[in-house]
Amino acid sequence: MSVLVLNADFTPLTVCTTERAFLLMYLDKADMVSDVKNKRLRTVQNSFPYPSVIKIRQYIHVPYKSVVLTRHNVFKRDNHSCQYCGSNKDLTLDHLIPKSKGGKSTWTNLVTACKNCNAQKGNYAPEEVGLQLAKKPIRPSYVMFLRFSSKLLCEDWIPYLEHKVSA
């Protein structure tokens, strides 16, 4: 299970393993903000709350974090589904403005598409062949990417990620 790590000012930093989170708390480098109800970490002699959200004690200055443009990350942003028909089979990347017409490989020009829709679109813009996008492609912020790419997003993470999505 993953644990959301917050900076000292409660801004999201990253996600780590439960073991790493427990170690940070044990070494007095972090405090628990939220735990998983009805779940405990156990040793031979002790029982501890199971962390879900922790906050590090000393503020860490982090330079702007951007999400690297990769095939895998575009798939994550698009929830591993074709942005034309919604299929999750035979996925590939599609350039909205084809490369042959000057389209670049950017967050706003790349979408996830199944092979059938990509072939149907061919060397045209989606609207030229009657295809409609499920949602406009955007460059995700780091926090947005954390939120939407985590398969194990816990309910108690949402207050720390939700208000940051527009960033």
Q: Give the max Cα distance, the chain.
A: 68
Give Cβ neighbours of residue 29 (< 8 Å, ≥ 6 apart).
56, 57, 58
pLDDT at 95: 97
Identity at 166, one-letter amino acid code = S
Asked if 17 contacts 2 with a C-beta cutoff of 8 angstroms, the reply is yes
Collect the ranges in the chain with pLDDT lower than 50.
Answer: 163-167
CA–CA dist 105, 116 (Å, integer): 21
Asked if 107 contacts 69 with a C-beta cutoff of 8 angstroms, the reply is yes
pLDDT at 166: 38
CA–CA dist 138, 150 (Å, integer): 18
Could you tell me the pTM of the whole model? 0.64
Read off the pLDDT of residues 75-96 as tens digits, 9 standing for 90 and up: 989 989 999 999 999 999 999 9
Nearest to 96 by CA among 72, 112, 85: 112
- The DSSP-derived string for 38-49 is EEEEE-SS-EEE
Identity at 77, one-letter amino acid code = R
Q: How is domain 71-129 classified at the CATH fold level?
A: DNA Binding (I), subunit A (1.10.30)
Residues of the chain with CATH 1.10.30.50: 71-129
